[in-house]
Homo-oligomer: A and B are copies of this chain.
Amino acid sequence: MPKETITPRQQDYSQWYLDIVQNADMADYAEVVRGCIVFKPTGYAIWEAIQRGLDDRIKATGHVNAYFPLLIPRSFLMKEAEHIEGFAPEVAEVTRAGGEDLAEPYVIRPTSETIIGHFYAKWVRSWRDLPLLINQWANVMRWEMRPRPFLRTAEFLWQEGHTVHATEADAERETLMILHDVYGDFMERDMAVPVIKGLKTEREKFAGGLRSYSLEAMMQDYRALQSGTSHNLGQNFARAFNITFTDQQNTIQYAWTTSWGVSTRLIGAMIMVHSDDEGLVVPPRLAPVQVVVVPIYKNDTERSSVLQAVEQVTADWAGRLRFKVDDRPNLTPGFKYNEWELKGIPVRVELGPRDVQQQNVAVARRDIPGREGKQIVPQAGLTAYLETLLTTIQQVLYDRALRFREDHTYTIQRFDELADAVERGFARCYWAGSSEDEQRIQSDLKATIRVIPLEQPGTAGTCILTGKETTQQVIFGRAY
């Protein structure tokens, strides 16, 4: 795995991404299954870490997990007019099963509002049944012609939360709570990915929903990645599937529902925000292995004293650090350094005969590659040193990504500044245009309104297109 195989970001960002994925051994193209990938162990382990971080937060905020059928009767999609328009073109259909043609085809779920709505209509009777707070971890399928590992694949893995509430205010509170306390908190704290939280425009909202919120992150090519969405579905799906409840005044009412999801796309976000030309960079809180120890020796005598020192040094790591001792024979230390660098392990500890004598180790930081990030550290107190270092690295990665985003976010006043701004990053501006205006800008500049940020200046300004006075700022950007 020579490092030369990674194309530098500046040269070809898109190839750089594929090189990172391949060199870190994260995925394989499933060319025999259109648009799909294999999530290889290194890539899947990141997904498992993401699942743990999210699942803990989803449960801590009162939700429980369940599992609904993969197949959805095709007619279900039709029940919500906007929904079918959004998803019909990209579904896969099961038309034969058990050796027979089916009277009504099923679609493989592209998302589960419809099938879950069907069951919620059975389960919800009274205000006492509300709120109903359920999440599902599942695979979904949206037929995809231009796959890109993790970012866009026909089959992907995700969680989808589906909740039912008695009032619009409750549904809105849930939608925003998920945005902040589950998704925002996870992405910023665990993934070290700064996100802009806000509302989607009408044009970009979920097909069939009332209001969609999203979290947008900036990649190193200045493009936006929508990293998660949280939808207030209003009463649209409740009406389509007849989810009603008897309220405290004994009146039958349509319920208010929400849905929210993040997917294996987050693996792509992690890669693109933090990695460099040396390979993958995994933030410590997400890393399945946080510290790799490479023993260095030339002969059996050295080997035995070095390995003994490794054992002493790592004796109290279990439960405090996730680590691995790379004692594979017949591979040079240099080969191992390179491999773990490609795989993004946050910290490497090297321990050789001289370190045994001097009671030291060498510690190399993945976030600062090369000599600069390498230090000689005493063995005494090493565990605490490494714990602190991991916290530092986590913060450094976050700060770096935030600075990058801020350095490439341009507050613009005039429409003629937009083309240049979205070429180099996010454009923040006052906006009072229409959906048609957005459409035209997308055609002309390949840029869309990523989000109407929740944080607004609170003062009025002039819309860059219409010249109207407005208090609303938006973020324009090119999106994945």
Contacts and interface: CB of A to CB of B under 8 A. Distances in A.
A48 B65 contact: yes
Contacts of A318: none
A339 B367 CA distance: 53
Given A33-B72, A41-B65, A66-B41, A105 B99 contact: no
Interface stretch (A139-147, A183-191, A272-280, A447-455): A139-147
A321 interface: no
Contact of A33 (B47, B71, B96): B71
A95 interface: yes
A93 interface: yes
A98 interface: yes
How many copies of the chain does the oligomer comprise? Answer: 2
A210 interface: no
A64 interface: yes
Contact of A67 (B44, B69, B92, B122): B44
Interface in A150-181: 155, 157
Contacts of A122: 28
B89 A93 contact: no
B38 A64 contact: no
B115 A73 contact: no
Contacts of A36: 69-71
Contact of A143 (B40, B92, B98): B98
A24 interface: no
A9 interface: no
A98 B107 CA distance: 11
Contact of A69 (B33, B48, B71): B33
A266 interface: no
A430 interface: no
A94 interface: yes
Nearest to A123: B28
| Chain A contact patch, size range | 35 or more
A34 B32 CA distance: 28
Nearest to A100: B143
Contacts of A48: 65
Contacts of A315: none
B143 A68 contact: no
B96 A105 contact: yes
A89 B100 CA distance: 9
A51 to B, nearest CB: 10
Interface string A421-434: 00000000000000
Contacts of A145: 98
A139 B73 CA distance: 18
B30 A69 contact: yes
Interface centre among A47, A64, A92, A157 (most CB of B within 10 A): A92
Nearest to A96: B93
A96 B92 contact: yes
Given A39-B67, A68-B38, A139-B139, A97 B89 contact: no
A337 B440 CA distance: 63
18 contacts: A28-B122, A30-B68, A32-B118, A36-B70, A36-B71, A37-B69, A41-B64, A41-B134, A44-B64, A70-B139, A88-B99, A89-B98, A89-B99, A93-B94, A93-B97, A96-B105, A108-B108, A138-B139
What 3 pairs across the A-B complex have the smallest Cβ distances?
A98-B143, A39-B67, A92-B97
